[in-house]
Structure 1
Amino acid sequence: MTTTDYATYIAGLPRVLAASAALFRDTRGRVLVVEPNYRDHWALPGGTVGSDAGETPRQGARRETAEEIGLDVPLGPLLAVDWSHGTGRPPIVAYLYDGGVLAEERFAEIRLQEEELLSWKLIERSEVPAHLPGSLGLRVLAALDVLDGGGGPAELENGRPATD
């Protein structure tokens, strides 16, 4: 296969997007969420993985966390991976990493990326579906289950456990 043939072959392959985020909690188990200025629901610190630049999902989650909330925190284990369909876009493979339990003084260090975020807050597990709708909320709940049960990571499709 020539270089041109290989490039044509690669260009014809299906596309998938990649995103990654970090799940931070406080000592009471509440989840840190951020309020973007470009959508109508809350999110986790995270975003698109710069895969074209060689970035991995873990690196992307750490970079996005540092950019969005000003905390550069080494991430723990992968808690969930979710194949999420959408309308008007290719599927997204979303990686969710354990950001850990932050001490109260770390929350005081949060500095929001004003170009993208309006605010942040801590929410109880029972508030997750109202703040993080659809597959994102389901993904967070699955990740919390992994943390509670000591297993993981959760393999999800649209936020629900993957099945054959």
Structure 2
Amino acid sequence: MARDDVAGQGPAWTDPTCPVARAVDVVGDRWSLLIIRDAMDGARSFTDFQQRTGIARNILTDRLRKLTAHGLITRVEAPSGKRRVYALTAAGKDLFPVIVTLRQWGERHAFEAGETHSILVDEHGTVVPRVVPATADGWPLTGDTTAVRKRT
């Protein structure tokens, strides 16, 4: 994680000019991604997150605090009005393609052939197609067909 604000200087990033490094500083640990995943799947309360992930209470408290501080989740009034619950912000919802891509990578590479795992389906029950980055013309992009350019 990016370290908290140090003497009013803001967060200390792993690599201040790299968007991937900054993203990993914010959500790159196991628990943060699982919390985001579960929030996308309807988890709202501290208890929801703890039961779904099995995370220790102190670690969950820390990760929820950090995700809130980075603007990925927010505390909102529960429909009952008796307590506050967590909800994804627009920035948190923007992680959906990341979660889908990570899930699909896991389906292809983290299970033995024939091993049972969950699947992601759309509102009609159809398996979500593989997410592939593409050019504006629809051609697939890979690490071999792209390059990082430093901005000056």
TM-score (ref. length: structure 2): 0.23
Looking at both structures, which has the greater relative contact order when contacts are Cα pairs under 8 Å and sequence separation is at least 6?
A: 1
TM-score (ref. length: structure 1): 0.21
Higher helix share: 2
> For the pair shown, which has the larger CA radius of gyration, 1 or 2?
2
Higher strand share: 1
